[in-house]
Structure 1
């Protein structure tokens, strides 16, 4: 059995409190509410790293290309809105990173499109979209309601612990790495969904030139003129064009404002299309390896920040935070209202999960090869850009020794060279004796795991021929991830979980060779490999689907009909997931038994 039939698409119980729709959301694109038992809080943290420095030996025009100056991360976490009764409710979070118009121009530059039409289109669709998450909300201090109401020993234990005023739940941690053109906010559907099930998810915004545009604030005691880089352009915090050594910058510092620099997407030297499968020169491994090196250092810095928060010294982080009122890219709230005492000993900082999409999947592979990270437990790899993944070494220190799950899009699985690289690092993990799953979400394209697919489903369907409902693609991704973590994490981190479970990982044994589980029904023509799928007889198929969905809509009196067609666009797909590789049931039992 190489594929899995449709599972029930009935959503799990939603959080008790839903964000109200804003006036703009009645007309603009919006993100759906999260499905877990918790509401979701969010905070932006940017602090100086412990040792600011250039990273890697990569230089252009005699200057270093990459620098590590600060670490910027968005923290999604379970929150308690009930504690805000009678007080002002926390504000919701903008989906487009601030400054929004300037960030939109960064996306236009990344896409090689004139800035004005891109900014105008985003302004009419999603420039003002809000996350269903609340800024600086109180960290949840309760167990899920369904757990407390359970009549069994688990529910009884949860009620006893909650009645103890000194006992509060602790949450597992996930560190998330974005792909090319990404940011800390453009995977909010996945990060927020995981947070709603009781995880603290730390989404790093990388400063390695892989994002469309990011703003790096600098501490007031840093001589900005000493920042030497071939890619960073220094500005004052009023978005002027003054150089860092000018007198105006000094006046800004006296006002308590900090200079900053802008890091835009870095094009590979003499090879602008290194991401294309048709690129004859191949991947620019010199640049990509340097970026991975910087990303690894950023992950270490992010974990250090978590250690400080968990030790009860959150106020130290708040005092260093550069995302505060008046600084570039900041909310006027900064970290105001966060009760740092609530964060003391509230996270499990052992068996931390590394997770990433595309180039972030490559980052996850490399992080899982680093045996020096004793706090790292496992990795979740989403649609890895296999061509940029360095090969593992012969020694165990250069190989994946952590349990991993690789969840890919169908469009990348039809890219043979990429498929072979995913098989390669999956076998690397399996050969080291650890658990490994390799899955494909049928009918999906590369952006199916991002917010873009949720916000612009019509474009994903028309341009990329995506055949899976975007919300279902997110659901399959998060549910498979939760099932993986339920197996891998120790019981103390999962004992009160109310996680979605559709038995996606409990499939029959996959074929002896991963390639045998692939089907070519929707394989694209060669020129569209890795970009889009192919729908045979597309006009007829789309017309038939439209008639069927319209009829269902009418007989259901306008109710949502996604459940009636399994969450798919109903293009004749019979399976939701292909399983290419998975451990034996005995191996899974052996792993679970080690905690007993």
Structure 2
């Protein structure tokens, strides 16, 4: 993989909405780099069967209850049609979910901190951050990269359409990690959408997010058997993060009690049910029943967490027959990665899921075969780890074993680590707060480059595992990341391995003060560093040369070999 190879495949990025003045003053998200413009819509609808999960209760009420399903859809759009804000400008969704002040309090509770300083800091940094996407824009009728296809290319009506017809788009379901939401992975989701995917980012209400608001359906029917009548003033309720009883730090590698499997497995079961409900909504859109989705949508003016734009202005006929709802992709970060691993196992329940992408998966929370289902993983898998999680031996081995499970089932599998990255490097937090990530988590890779490696390796994976009719003529950048040679040593790299108390949360930077001082004084990019889509150098705390930015642990191109062990030096 090399810079010359990158530049040869760059295409003109799609049109982006202009940043407002406040976005220039405060933290903002980068524009997406794929050839499509990106649209976004937010949908919350009642589930078909309200229900509870497990016997776990808080305040004498079922803690895991599914009444509605909430998600954002990132999709390739026609930027000439969109919901408008003041001055006829394109309306954009806020990065911090509404209601923003109350959501900030939810984050304070999640971090076990006083809400005033947390809310004040968020207000001073990301309260006005918007997603660089057009709200409620028209689904595009064009196919980027079509010019690169031969005129003799023929597409099946069951897959992509012919060049003179409207294209169909493959679908990705995205599952967030602990403390996450439908927006805090917007860079990954939006980048994939800008490359021709419809990405459904589900906001889980299983007590794994910092805070989410559930609007009560007009019927008043709730999962625990209660019914709210029309005279009741309660029209919504909030779901905050659920801490395991007497084991609040079950996520910590140094926690002697380990993971609260009762809670986490129940949460995974609810998450899978939410994704099933989201898939049903996509079926309605694809079957020409978008008006029914609009009618039942609860994210509309006057309801909790809603924009005044709701789903106004969308021509639902544009979505009729436009989605490829077989061989879809499950993708998730951290606890969402654990959720994804279980989804790709359950082929009978999710026959429409063709492959999975695990982003720094929380392996310790991932059920083993037989704990939730007796089915083994037989679908293609890509695991992209952070270096910080690579140094967590139990977690690394669990993800490695999942990869071997897929390989033993006859599926293609890749497992790699992005050098210099930490757990949040695949989230928007790394983009919005790069200095904090560098100072406190010791992140060494440039955050934008880490995001590019995550997205581009995912696109390379999908180009290999999706049927040819999905990928012919695609505009995706191919850096050859998945062609990286498997690490031949039986011992994992340990130069940045932290002390035991910092395991999984940060890296160790030898000679950190000298490196920071030199980088500050030099402030001049080296010729060998990676570049963004415009050729601008991406400089982080440390630079990794092109072709040497990842470690590969598993690859279909290599023979099975011994599992790489941890350093013999105890931390």
Tell me the residue number matched to 2:556: 583
Matches within 5 A, 1:314-353: 314-353=290-329
CA distance in 2, matches of 1:510, 1:449: 22
SS of structure 1 residue aligned to 2:244: coil
CA distance in 1, matches of 2:255, 2:559: 43
Query: What displacement does 1:395 show?
Result: 12
* Residue of structure 2 aligned with 1:12, choices 10, 15, 22: 10
* Residue of structure 2 aligned with 1:264, choices 215, 236, 240: 240
CA distance in 2, matches of 1:484, 1:54: 36
Give the number of the structure whose residues are more often helix, by fraction.
Answer: 1
CA distance in 2, matches of 1:439, 1:302: 30
Structure 2 length-normalised TM: 0.90
- Structure 1 residues 116 and 367, CA, compared in 2 at 3 Å: closer, same or farther? same
CA distance in 2, matches of 1:374, 1:178: 22
Tell me the residue number matched to 1:310: 286
- Structure 1 residues 468 and 315, CA, compared in 2 at 3 Å: closer, same or farther? same
Query: What displacement does 1:465 show?
Result: 0.5
- Structure 1 residues 375 and 524, CA, compared in 2 at 3 Å: closer, same or farther? same
Query: What displacement does 1:561 show?
Result: 12
Query: What displacement does 1:25 show?
Result: 1.1
- Structure 1 residues 294 and 568, CA, compared in 2 at 3 Å: closer, same or farther? same
CA distance in 2, matches of 1:30, 1:275: 30
Q: Which runs of 5+ in 1 are unaligned?
A: 229-233, 235-243, 253-257, 588-596
Tell me the residue number matched to 2:356: 379
* Residue of structure 1 aligned with 2:479, choices 502, 514, 527: 502
* Cα pair 1:396 1:432 within 8 Å, conserved: no
Query: How many aligned residue pairs are there?
Result: 549
Matches within 5 A, 1:62-461: 63-83=61-81, 88=88, 90-144=90-144, 146-148=145-147, 150=148, 152-153=150-151, 164=164, 167-223=165-221, 250=231, 259-372=235-348, 373-393=350-370, 397-461=374-438
- Structure 1 residues 109 and 81, CA, compared in 2 at 3 Å: closer, same or farther? same
* Cα pair 2:438 2:541 within 8 Å, conserved: no
CA distance in 2, matches of 1:414, 1:544: 27
* Cα pair 2:82 2:136 within 8 Å, conserved: no
CA distance in 2, matches of 1:288, 1:224: 23
* Residue of structure 2 aligned with 1:520, choices 494, 499, 515: 494
CA distance in 2, matches of 1:562, 1:568: 17
User: How far does the alpha carbon of each residue in 1:469-490 deviate from its partner, in whole angstroms, 9 at most, with x for none?
Assistant: 1110110000000000000111
User: How far does the alpha carbon of each residue in 1:358-405 deviate from its partner, in whole angstroms, 9 at most, with x for none?
Assistant: 000000000011021211100000000111111124999521111100
Structural RMSD (CA): 3.0
Tell me the residue number matched to 2:542: 570
CA distance in 1, matches of 2:393, 2:83: 55
Query: What displacement does 1:537 show?
Result: 1.1
* Cα pair 1:56 1:293 within 8 Å, conserved: no
CA distance in 2, matches of 1:394, 1:215: 31
Tell me the residue number matched to 1:472: 449
CA distance in 1, matches of 2:404, 2:173: 24
- Structure 1 residues 424 and 586, CA, compared in 2 at 3 Å: closer, same or farther? closer
Tell me the residue number matched to 2:25: 27
2:506 matches 1:532: yes
SS of structure 2 residue aligned to 1:367: helix
Query: What displacement does 1:81 show?
Result: 1.1
Structure 1 length-normalised TM: 0.86
SS of structure 2 residue aligned to 1:35: coil
CA distance in 1, matches of 2:371, 2:111: 39
CA distance in 1, matches of 2:407, 2:149: 40
CA distance in 1, matches of 2:4, 2:451: 14
- Structure 1 residues 396 and 217, CA, compared in 2 at 3 Å: closer, same or farther? closer
* Cα pair 2:285 2:320 within 8 Å, conserved: yes
SS of structure 2 residue aligned to 1:172: strand
Query: What displacement does 1:573 show?
Result: 6.9
